[in-house]
């Protein structure tokens, strides 16, 4: 007979309060979620830093390319002068002191190119002693001269040859069509960042534009050699202001001397795409380009910070 008292009993397992294991497991899950959140935050922060760095590097690279392009154009201007003995003429773009004028005022009329000439007293006075004011922008620049005289962009009936290249330019801005000799372009408009844009063939509006599609400005003036102070030498406003030239690398020790000796400048709008001139550019465009709500002189200075400038004589 088997007695129940002799049957082996299973060992008792000590148990804690009901639900203890579930809470422990729940605690482990909570810690893992916190770790995950912290990791996500760290990764997000690293990505943000990388994006900011990439944008800065991209902007810096674009700015460097724009500056190099301006240098290439300046080299083209210097080559033009070396070959022909004078600087490219300044085309009258159909602007009066930088402001648009009626449609009849065009850079080319009756197959003749309108340019400033030293032999015309009013033109010489304007080039040497611009009487600008806060309500009158300095119009001693052209967005067409570079296309005419460095690229030979005009049609055959105007510069003697169809496509890039031209007849020999003359001091008055016209071309020596009778010579029949081809002058090769002084800049390569197929180069990235130095591109030819046709605005209006009938009016002869051709521009050299940058990567942003903004036309480079060719400033031309006659310095007043009777004075030595930069502010009194009639340097275009966008180049010489009470705050100094717009070149971000401006150094009074060297740049004042450079501008005192200069007779022309190549100016690009830089990476932000604006020149910083309230009388020729809208306030809203400059504010958008700079990401600020500034106005007046402060906005112009901010917009000019990345302008690219090359000067020569």
What distance in Å separates the CA atoms of residue 136 and residue 237, rounded to the nearest whole number?
Answer: 11
What distance in Å separates the CA atoms of residue 229 and residue 237, rounded to the nearest whole number?
Answer: 14
Would the CA dihedral through 12, 16, 18, 21 be positive or negative? negative
- Placement of tokens 């830089």 in the chain: 270
Would the CA dihedral through 195, 199, 200, 205 be positive or negative? negative
Q: What integer pLDDT is reported at residue 103 of this predicted model?
A: 47
Regarding pTM above 0.75, the answer is: yes
Q: What integer pLDDT is reported at residue 122 of this predicted model?
A: 85
Q: Evaluate whether 147 touches 153 at the Cβ level (below 8 Å).
A: yes
Q: In the chain, pLDDT over 90 holds for what percent of residues? A: 36
Q: What integer pLDDT is reported at residue 53 of this predicted model?
A: 74
- Going by pLDDT thresholds of 50, 70 and 90, the confidence category of residue 134 is low
C-beta contacts of 154-161 below 8 A and 24+ residues apart:
154/204, 154/206, 155/201, 157/111, 158/108, 158/111, 158/113, 158/204
Q: Which two tokens stand for residue 67?
A: 């500056």
Average pLDDT over residues 91-118: 73
Q: What integer pLDDT is reported at residue 132 of this predicted model?
A: 60
Q: Evaluate whether 288 touches 306 at the Cβ level (below 8 Å).
A: no
Q: What integer pLDDT is reported at residue 228 of this predicted model?
A: 56
Average pLDDT over residues 133-150: 85
For the chain, the residue count is 313
What distance in Å separates the CA atoms of residue 301 and residue 26, rounded to the nearest whole number?
Answer: 60
- Going by pLDDT thresholds of 50, 70 and 90, the confidence category of residue 99 is very low
- Strands 141-142, 112-113: pairing kind: unpaired
Average pLDDT over residues 249-260: 65
- pLDDT over 60 (residue 263): yes
Q: What integer pLDDT is reported at residue 154 of this predicted model?
A: 94
DSSP string, 150-181: TS--S-HHHHSSSSS-BSPB-TTS-B-GGG--
- Going by pLDDT thresholds of 50, 70 and 90, the confidence category of residue 201 is confident
Contacts of 274 (CB under 8 A, 6+ apart): 281, 285, 286, 289, 290, 303
pLDDT digits (tens, 9 = 90+) for 27-65: 455 568 888 888 888 888 888 888 877 776 666 777 888
Q: Which two tokens stand for residue 77?
A: 């201007």
DSSP string, 23-52: HHHHHHHHHHHHHHHHHHHHHHHHHHHHHH
Q: What integer pLDDT is reported at residue 148 of this predicted model?
A: 97
Other CB atoms within 10 A of residue 66 CB: 23
Q: What integer pLDDT is reported at residue 98 of this predicted model?
A: 45
What distance in Å separates the CA atoms of residue 101 and residue 84, rounded to the nearest whole number?
Answer: 32
- pLDDT over 60 (residue 2): no
Environment class of 63 (CB within 10 Å of its CB; exposed 0-12, middle 13-18, buried 19+)? middle
Q: Which two tokens stand for residue 31?
A: 């810690």
- pLDDT over 70 (residue 185): yes
Terminal Cα-to-Cα distance of the chain (whole angstroms)? 127
pLDDT digits (tens, 9 = 90+) for 17-31: 555 454 455 445 556
- Going by pLDDT thresholds of 50, 70 and 90, the confidence category of residue 102 is very low
Rg (CA), the chain: 33
Say which residue, 309 or 231, is predicted with more confidence: 309
């Amino acid at each position: 007979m088997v007695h129940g008292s002799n049957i082996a009993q299973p060992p008792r397992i000590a148990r804690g309060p009901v639900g203890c294991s579930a809470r422990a497991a729940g605690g482990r899950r909570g810690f893992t979620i916190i770790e995950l959140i912290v990791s996500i935050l760290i990764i997000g922060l690293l990505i943000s830093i990388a994006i900011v760095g990439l944008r800065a590097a991209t902007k810096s690279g674009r700015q460097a390319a724009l500056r190099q392009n301006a240098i290439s154009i300046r080299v083209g201007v210097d080559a033009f002068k070396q070959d022909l003995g004078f600087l490219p003429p300044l085309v009258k773009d159909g602007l009066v002191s930088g402001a648009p004028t009626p449609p009849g005022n065009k850079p080319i009329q009756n197959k003749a190119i309108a340019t400033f000439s030293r032999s015309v007293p009013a033109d010489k006075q304007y080039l040497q002693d611009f009487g600008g004011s806060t309500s009158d922008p300095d119009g001693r620049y052209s967005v067409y001269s570079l296309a005419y005289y460095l690229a030979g962009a005009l049609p055959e009936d105007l510069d003697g040859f169809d496509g890039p290249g031209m007849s020999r330019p003359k001091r008055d801005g016209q071309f020596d069509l009778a010579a029949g000799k081809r002058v090769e372009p002084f800049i390569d408009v197929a180069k990235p960042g130095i591109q030819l844009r046709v605005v209006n063939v009938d009016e002869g509006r051709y521009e050299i534009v940058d990567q942003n599609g903004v036309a480079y400005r060719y400033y031309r003036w006659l310095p007043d050699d009777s004075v030595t102070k930069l502010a009194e030498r009639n340097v275009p406003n966008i180049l010489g202001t009470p705050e100094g030239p717009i070149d971000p690398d401006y150094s009074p020790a060297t740049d004042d001397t450079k501008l005192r000796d200069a007779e022309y400048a190549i100016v690009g709008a830089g990476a932000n795409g604006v020149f910083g001139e309230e009388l020729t550019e809208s306030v809203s465009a400059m504010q958008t380009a700079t990401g600020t709500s500034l106005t007046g002189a402060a906005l112009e200075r901010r917009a000019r910070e990345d302008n690219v400038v090359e000067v020569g004589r």
